[in-house]
Structure 1
Amino acid sequence: MATILLSILLVYLSATICMCNAATPTKFPAIFIFGDSTVDTGNNNHIMTSLQANYPPYGVDFPNHLATGRFSDGKLVPDLLASHFGIKQLVPPFLDPLLSDEDVQTGVSFASAGSGFDDLTTAMNGAIPVLKQPEMLKQYSARLKGLVGEEEASKIINGSLILISAASNDFIFNFYDIPTRRSQYNISGYQDFLQQKIQHLIKEIYDLGGRIIGVAGLAPIGCTPIQRSLKFKTPADKTCVDNQNMDALNYNSKLKKLLPELLASLPGSKIFYGNLYDPLIDIMTRPQKYGFEQTMKGCCATGLLGLGPFCSPLGSTCPDASKFVFWDSIHPTQSTYQVIAESIIETINSIL
């Protein structure tokens, strides 16, 4: 009898241990990304555009030191979010011809480097406008239905984490550096124009089944090395371009007002604001808190004006990108993206 009882106890304990060690169910079945180079995991590798980052030193801190098309030394926020929430380690680009069925079921990035909400932003660079990216979601949905059936595909899309991150290129390409829109709009009017585009995009994603949608605000554009350099600020000058940062704050205030209105008008949706501005400003003003040493220039090339082909294998690269806030003259390092991702994760956990 004692032997039987001991065997039962061992079976019970074994089952309990297995239950405890089982993987925690993920909060989201998949992740979908819309936007620009800050969230493009490699789509531009597969379209006709010069805005590509599929060569060294891009990817120097990525697994196996691969240059995948991500405009950074390593992973981007989509990868960090997917990993944190147990979806997968890396978010592949939708246009990758080798995209696996498994990756289709857990999500992709539709983002395109150089893109924006304004179609004029991509008129010269060949990138995929953000408002055209839902067309890829339609194609994705058709493939997903073929894999798992219509009902399960709907469940996956309904329950997925969707992130939209764009608008910096709109201001840089169309208002600040190349003032093509200034003849039509003042800064407030152009902000309103872009946010009308955001409304249209969110409603289209909602109609395609998306329900949990995060929209990133603007980062402090005036702190990027390229914008500082174009205003003749040197690395020794620790100030940002104040008017551009103020414009970003005003844009973000409008976005934070818009999103609750959209939430109320789209039944069953969960729409939230992704704060990029505050984490980056905190990094810029208190770099030692995060382990950064260089805030005013990027790690590759001169770090002041260069990106893309200017960050080439023939150029110089800093020995430790984790000490730099920026990788090139526009894009953050993986270490900076980690801080941003942690802020977004905190927001997501607070609303879901």
Structure 2
Amino acid sequence: EEFGVKGLVPAYLDTKTQLQDLLTGVSFASGAAGYDPLTAKTANVIPMSGQLELFKECIKKIKGAVGEERAVTIISKAIYVVCTGSNDISYTYFSTPFRRPFYDINAYAEFNARYANQFLQDLYGLGARRIGLYGLPPIGCVPSQRTIRGGKNRDCYEAENQMAIAYNTKLSGVIDSLKAVYTAPNTKLIFFDIYYPLLSIIQNPAKY
């Protein structure tokens, strides 16, 4: 809140969300979506492409409220957080028969990195300039995956962790490649690697 960020960012589709909320930040996220379009389709949620369409709708509303010039300023100075991909791994790849027979771990990471790259380019094209892309956590260590795949000791499922690492390598590369293209002074593209900090907490809880 000291930085002017809301304690809770309201959902864009929440019926209680007001026009003023659009000027100060809303969420377009849809739980269980992923970079892989099949992830959202099988979960019957809004895909990343649909979330972009909602953002376009939001931009029109902002322009209608404050005018073109101020809207461009608001959109370009806003901070955008992109955080998805866990369900691509834990559900679409490891729990359904639709991708695993056709892609190994690295190929599937590359497959989804292409979608991530296009999503970020589209977001930039709509006026976003300050974008933070979160990497994936050690998915194989979350309680559900340890219960389902970790055996009687509920160990971390290393296959999912290895895919998360592969994903993060590809996503970090996407950010690096876009930085080389989008060089305007007001552009900030950042990759947040949360994998190893979280893994350290899991493996060494006494330190924390």
Q: What SS class does the counterpart of residue 267 from structure 1 fall into? A: coil
The AA in structure 2 aligned to 1:170 is: D
Match of 1:172 in 2: 90
Q: Which has the larger radius of gyration?
A: 1
Q: Secondary structure at the match of 1:123?
A: helix
Q: CA deviation at 1:85?
A: 2.4
Match of 2:53 in 1: 135
Alignment length, in residue pairs? 206
TM-score (norm 1): 0.56
Cα displacement (A) at 1:142: 0.8
Give how far 1:232 is off: 4.5
Out of 129, 136, 143, the residue aligned to residue 211 of structure 1 is 129
Runs (5+) with no aligned partner, structure 1: 1-82, 291-352
Correspondence for 1:239: 155
Distance 1:221 1:230 in 2: 12
1:258 corresponds, among 156, 174, 181, to 174
TM-score by length of 2: 0.93
Q: Is the 8 A contact 2:89 2:163 kept in 1?
A: no
How far has the Cα of 1:84 moved from its partner? 5.3
Q: Residue 249 in 1 paired to residue 176 in 2? A: no
| Residue in structure 2 matched with residue 152 of structure 1 by the alignment | 70
Q: Is the 8 A contact 2:150 2:156 kept in 1?
A: no
Task: Please state how far the C-alpha of 1:122 moved relative to its aligned partner.
Answer: 1.8
Matches within 5 A, 1:1-352: 83=1, 85-234=3-152, 237=153, 239-268=155-184, 269-290=187-208
Rounded to whole Å, the distance in 1 between the matches of 2:150 and 2:140 is 12
Q: Which string of whole-angstrom CA distances, capped at 9 and with x for unpartnered residues, describes residues 279-319 of structure 1?
A: 211221222333xxxxxxxxxxxxxxxxxxxxxxxxxxxxx
When the two chains are superposed, the root-mean-square deviation of aligned CA atoms in Å is 1.5
Q: Secondary structure at the match of 1:190?
A: helix
Show CA shifts across 1:133-162 (max 9, x none): 110111110111111111101001101110
4+ aligned runs moved over 6 Å, structure 1: none
The code of the aligned residue for 1:123 comes to: K
Whether the aligned pair in 2 keeps the contact of 1:117 and 1:131 (CA below 8 Å) is no
* Partner SS state of residue 80, structure 2: strand
Structure 2 residue matching 1:141: 3-state secondary structure: helix
How many percent of aligned residue pairs carry the same amino acid? 37
The answer for unaligned runs of 5 or more in structure 2 is none
